[in-house]
Amino acid sequence: MQKKIKLKSILFLLCIQSVVLFGQKKAQKEEYLFNDSHFHLTNYIQEGISADRFLEIMGNKAGRSTLFGIPLQQQWSYQNSGNYSPTYYLQTDAPLYYYSFTDAFIAMQYKSLSKEKQARLDPMITGFNPSDMYAYKHIERVLRTFPGVFTGIGEFSIHKEFVSAKVAGEVASLTNPALDSILDFAGKVGLVVILHNDMDMPMAKQKTEPVYLNDMRDLLKRHSKTTIIWAHIGLGRIVYPAGYGNDSTTDRPPNHIDIVTSILDDPAYSNVYFDISWDEVAKYIVSSPEIIKKCAELMDKYPDRFLFGTDVVAPPDQKFYLAVYEKYQPLWKALKPETSEKIRKQNYIKLFDNARQKVRAWETANVKQ
């Protein structure tokens, strides 16, 4: 009986690999520009586009992409905004709440596609509350309900400017055991984790180390067996790197590149990667020739540890979708060709293909087909 189960597992994994390779070869023939490590199909009121429409928008410009919604729903409070229906969290003072149905929606969008189209997408689980000790059970339940679909978890947030304070209920924390149980489970299954955590408070002025950095370092070190992508290099819309522009924190030690370098230098963080998604992050990186040069030098030194992502939400067309990629043109030109290729394409394939195989193996061993 055990031999039959093992043989079934091997055949299942070979089938998955063949589908992945077919999708990769098709995309390679079309000379795509990038794989997208950070993409939202839906917005803060759970509206957006279909997965099939997204693939049309990707066209031959993006080879593969993650696929996730947003784990939070913006409440429409009549007492706050009257007849105006907010579609973004900055448009109202009403709270946000966790919206678990997003995972079922993403799964069904994925399952509606042909196998060939599915091979280009990596759905992610996001609809859990990271301050809930039962959160990892939600992730497990989603995997058991939709086997063969998900590759990772995220993007989910702990400290996020403007957002964290608006979430109803307990505030998420890097020191909460609930988060440890989530990352432990992800490591056990092989799920890739995309974690948003601002490195510092918004518009920090004090000349000290970023306020959330030590807790984040400790968290990453506690979960060395879990593949973690730190979204946006720990930056935000107004959580900016020291030395950016003319702000008064220019001489605040240590600067952002030094912090990232210290993590990449340390073997204890070999499981940690950074994505450079979001036009707000691109704004910092391409802000001057000097900063472009410093960022390119860092990425050339660690070409395996960065991934490109758009962080676009439900794009209406391809021009809108490609805007972040185009904004990074000065960076692409400054990087060594082999570094650019890894950040735009190869690192995604390495991380997400490895996760696909591990998660499918876990499902084969733990989920009744």
Enumerate the domain spans of the chain: 34-76+85-366
Give residue 125's pLDDT. 98
Give the number of other Cβ atoms within 10 Å of residue 173's Cβ.
17
Handedness of CA 276, 104, 362, 114 (dihedral sign): negative
pLDDT classification of 250: cutoffs 50, 70, 90 = very low
Closest by Cα among 295, 298, 200, 215 to 252: 200
* Nearest Cα to Cα of residue 146 among 113, 107, 114, 117: 107
CATH number of 34-76+85-366: 3.20.20.140
pLDDT tens per residue across span 279-317: 999 999 999 999 999 999 999 999 999 999 999 999 999
State the DSSP string of 328-355: THHHHHHS-HHHHHIIIIIHHHHHHHHH
Least confident of 209-213, 273-277, 363-367: 209-213
pLDDT at 6 > cutoff 70: no
pLDDT confidence tier of residue 248, bands split at 50, 70 and 90: very low
Residue 13: the pLDDT is 57
Q: What angle do CA 311, 287, 215 make, to 5 degrees?
A: 60
- Longest alpha-carbon distance in the chain: 68
Of 223, 194, 219, 30, give the one whose Cα is nearest residue 122.
194
149-172 pLDDT per residue, tens: 999 999 999 999 989 989 999 999
pLDDT mean over 228-245:
83
What's the angle, vertex CA 360, arms to CA 354 and CA 362, rounded to 5?
A: 105
pLDDT 10s digits, 254-269: 689 999 999 999 999 9
Cα–Cα distance between 183 and 118 in angstroms, integer? 26
Strand partners, 73: 97
Strand order in the sheet with 306-307: 34-36, 62-67, 121-125, 152-157, 192-196, 228-230, 272-275, 306-307
Pull the structure tokens for residue 282.
């691109």
CA atoms 342, 345, 347, 349: torsion sign = negative
**Does 249 have pLDDT greater than 70?**
no
Predicted confidence at residue 1, as pLDDT, reads 52
What percent of the chain has a predicted confidence (pLDDT) above 90? 81
Distance separating alpha carbons of residues 115 and 19, to the nearest angstrom: 7
Task: Report the alpha-carbon distance of residue 269 to residue 304 in Å, rounded.
Answer: 13
Tracing tokens 């992800």 back to the chain, one arrives at 186
pTM over 0.95: no
Give just the sign of the alpha carbon dihedral 163, 165, 167, 173.
positive
Pairing of strands 272-275, 39-40: unpaired
